[in-house]
Amino acid sequence: MALDRERLVALSAPAMEDLHRQLDSPTITVLLADSAGGVLRAIGSSDGEATARSRGLAPPAAMKGPGSDAPPPASAPAPTCGTAVPPSQLGIAVPILPPAGALLGFIDADAAPLEWLGHANALLHTAACIIEHRLIETEPQGFLLLRFHRYANVLGTPLEAMVLFDADGTVMLANQTARTLLAPCAFNRGGAAACFATQWCGIVGYAALGLRQPFVLRDRRGGGFSAQASLLRQTT
């Protein structure tokens, strides 16, 4: 499912600006790119922005979509049009709702020490999670939004799994946590029936009740999740 670029840029802006503030360096440029690697927005160093726009921000070659057998890598270098970032620069990018989503990353004009890189990488992943959440929550074509995790206290945080379904129980969008927790077949033609042992009609029923307390969602691997479901629109 392709994302609307204007909505992507608008919803990403607060997280990008917050990420740039937290990275707190005049040599860093925070970048948002589309799935083809074209830069949509850049915040920060003019040198980094010029480098990104002139060379493009290519997606990591190993990045896989929701239907792949392996999840996308935690982080990957951000080459530019097949050319590595110059040695004096450091670039990292992570996927947002692949394969038709986007990339969030940053370029540092000065090579950073390794101990700083771990902290920056964690901030980058959190920002990407927040953007994924906003895109899923506000998708106008969605029917049912499901939030779940092994631990109930994770619900409502950027670490929760989130899946958006249409009225037939087909997966429309899913964040990285959901893709990690569920079988890959769930994101092909299997939909909710391939994701969970709990029947689709039961999930819709929980959503229609508007329960504030989590319910138990059974998966196909014999385990269970704490979950919350909400209807975003009614069927016609």
Please report the domains of the chain, with CATH numbers, ordered by start residue. Answer: 5-137 (3.30.450.40), 144-231 (no CATH)
CA distance 3 to 139: 9
pLDDT of residue 193: 86
**CA distances in angstroms from 174 to 15, 24, 58, 95, 225, listed in the order given:** 19, 31, 22, 12, 16
| DSSP letter, residue 190 | T
Tens-binned pLDDT, residue by residue, of the chain (236 aa): 667 889 999 999 999 999 999 998 888 999 999 888 889 999 986 554 555 554 455 444 333 333 333 333 333 333 333 334 444 566 889 999 987 789 999 988 776 666 678 888 899 999 999 999 999 999 999 999 999 999 999 999 999 999 999 999 999 999 999 988 886 666 766 788 888 999 999 999 999 998 889 999 998 877 899 999 999 876 55
pLDDT tens digits for 40-71?
A: 999 986 554 555 554 455 444 333 333 333 33
- DSSP 3-state assignment of 206? helix
Q: Output the CA–CA distances (angstroms, integers) from residue 219 to 51, 124, 186, 216, 225, in the order listed.
A: 46, 30, 11, 10, 7
Q: Where are the alpha helices (DSSP H) in the chain?
A: 5-23, 46-55, 114-137, 176-181, 191-195, 200-209
Question: 10-38, pLDDT tens digit by residue?
Answer: 999 999 999 999 998 888 999 999 888 88
What confidence score (pLDDT) does residue 82 get?
32
Q: Tell me, what's the pLDDT at 118?
A: 82
What integer pLDDT is reported at residue 30 of this predicted model? 95
Residue 186: predicted pLDDT? 65
